[in-house]
Every structure is written in structure tokens, then in C-alpha cells.
Amino acid sequence: MEVTTEKNEKVANMIFASIYPHYLNRIVKNGRTKEELDQVITWFTGHGNESIQALIDEKVTFRSFFQKAKIHPNAHLIKGVVCGYRIEEIADEFELYKQCRQMEKLIEELAKGRKMEKILREEKVRN
């Protein structure tokens, strides 16, 4: 599927606090914990537990959430399809939308029971 400016803006203006409970319900339903969810979000965005809670309390938009983030240098290793979009094919002009889908991919993997060391991607060192 193709990302549009309208779709990007719609996601940018969504309130993070309104989506976080859906993330949490999804992973808890599959036997994972809030701590694991926050660990994944922290790895990806650099927001610690207190920061995540503060952003929820402030009811920030995804735009603000990602503007305040320090995206992990290995985020480029997050690939695949989520919600019908192939992450690596999302145009650079829609960076916020791509970041949202990357985070959703990590949460999806968590919900599916993937091991944390696989979710929190590391560059492979070549000899």
C-alpha cells in the first residue's frame, strides 16, 4: 500500500496515550508484560519509563512523541510488513509514518512471542 500525505498527517495527529493501551492489551493478551512493552519502546525511541508515562500524561501526538525521541541507530534493521505496509518501502518523506510502523512491528513481534534479543536488533559483526 502507498502512504499519502493525508495518512501521514492523520497518524501524526493521533494521541499516543489513546493508542498505548491497545499496544498493552495486545501484548498482555499474549502473555507478555508492560515492562517488556516499555523496554521495546525505550530501545526504539530512547524514551525511558518515566518519559513514556509523562508523554502519556501530557497526551502528546505521535508527531511530538517521535520529535522528542532519539531513534535507535539500528532501526533500519526493522523490516517486513505491518498493517499492509512494507516498512522498507515507505518513502523518506513519510519518516514519522515509517517510525510509527517500525514501532508497531516491534510490538507485533513482542506479541507473537519473539525473543527480546531478536526484537532489539543488533548489527551483525563480520570478521
Q: What is the pLDDT at residue 124?
A: 74
* Mean per-residue pLDDT of the chain: 94
Q: What is the pTM of this model?
A: 0.93
Q: What is the pLDDT at residue 119?
A: 96
pLDDT tens for residues 62-119? 999 999 999 999 999 999 999 889 999 999 999 999 999 999 999 999 999 999 999 9
Alpha helices for the chain (secondary structure H)? 5-12, 16-29, 34-45, 49-58, 62-67, 95-111, 116-119
